[in-house]
Structure 1
């Protein structure tokens, strides 16, 4: 099983390197709040993500997540190069809501387990690779875009301290793509490529998205960093082409986390 998992990561990376990075799905940051007590609030903000979680009881919490990716550039932009994993032409995002259960695992409440289940909806658009070949072209002629709905479940386990936090999250997401759209010149003279792109909406696509989250600071405000890998679990090969090239395989984010809780007041007394 481990060999299959690592092979999936390597395959996703290889596809990203060899493709033109036309991403119509970019995984959002995992919201791993690791709450400990009733009425505790934790939120985070980064250039592309805004997240919040609130404990309504000693074990039940709600969360809300928003993502907006803005990398869109015009077809005649000479600096329109993509790196290994990022499509510089991607624009879009997702909005999510979830409810979850959390529980400290030790008497000092330094180890915390939580699990959330939620629903979201979003959309992304990018440009077909041909848009870079001719200056003065109409961007809309090369648009690739779609919408999707999303259900997910994400168990997390982590260590929480006033200075440092670390969490590992296993998010399982199921996306249903719809309203897939191709510009009039996208995949021009490539009937197979056009057909394969339209197959994205044929069936729901499952992803395993493990994330590693780290927070460093003091008490209420911390610097947050997260590395997330997104591995499609479906067999997404059509006509010899793998549509996984349209899904960004790795996401890295940095931002700030805010935590409002009473347990900080009693931490030194334990």
Structure 2
């Protein structure tokens, strides 16, 4: 019963965070590793409004890191013929800096491209897009919890089908995102939600205005502070 309730809760959240009509642009899960040291590696898997996301991150040095993201979906309703497919790949390089033992900051610059195809009722979406993103992150991290805020900026060049005609559009999305990871050191549950904001009033294609993801994060190579043992003199 508990598993059923959790599943219904996740489904309800995904429904609330999704757009009413099939979107031509879907924001992917933000990759905010909050690295502490060189040699640290992170991998994450999650499900949510972007269906399935996989992420990798590696701190090459004590200040330079790389990230890679993938988002995938292949859903079909055999009774109605409706379907949704998308494939998105992203990669980036960035700089990170521990401000103190717990407080961190990082910034990544990256590039991505994606394809989305959807048919639902009388509406269809068919789009290809390329994007450049800039994502600074600020947060805290310890053995049990990592929390961060990421105001991501995406410059998107999208080629999309609308009313049986194709259009090209260059636009910018602002995606303030909150990420929380709960667990202990090497494995943590991941919860992320954010907003996808456009200030361009000329956009005529559909896009998700909110996003939400649940998943797991695995960490290797992080240097943890050793607990000092008190010496007792008899």
Which interval holds the TM-score relative to the shorter structure?
0.7 to 0.9
Q: Which residue of 2 aligns with 1:220?
A: 186
Q: Which residue of 2 aligns with 1:97?
A: 91
Give the Cα separation in 2 of the matches to 1:52 and 1:249: 25
SS in 1 for 2:227: helix
Correspondence 1:42 to 2:23: no
CA offset digits 1:81-134 (Å, max 9, x no partner): xxxxxxxx432031011000000011x2x110000000011110111532xxxx
Extract unaligned runs of 5+ from structure 1.
1-12, 81-88, 131-141, 183-193, 238-242
TM-score, normalisation: structure 1: 0.71
Give the Cα separation in 2 of the matches to 1:25 and 1:98: 20
Extract unaligned runs of 5+ from structure 2.
1-15, 230-234
Correspondence 1:65 to 2:69: yes
- 1:143 Cα offset (Å): 4.3
What is the RMSD of the two structures over their aligned residues, measured on CA atoms? 2.3
Alpha carbons of 1:35 and 1:43: their partners in 2 closer, same or farther (altered >3 Å)? same
Give the Cα separation in 2 of the matches to 1:93 and 1:206: 20
- 1:258 Cα offset (Å): 0.6
- 1:24 Cα offset (Å): 1.4
Give the Cα separation in 2 of the matches to 1:269 and 1:160: 19
Contact 2:56–2:68 (Cα < 8 Å) also in 1: yes
Q: Which residue of 2 aligns with 1:268?
A: 227
Contact 2:87–2:116 (Cα < 8 Å) also in 1: yes
TM-score, normalisation: structure 2: 0.81
Contact 2:91–2:112 (Cα < 8 Å) also in 1: yes
- 1:269 Cα offset (Å): 4.0
Per residue, is there more strand in 1 or in 2?
2
Alpha carbons of 1:177 and 1:216: their partners in 2 closer, same or farther (altered >3 Å)? same
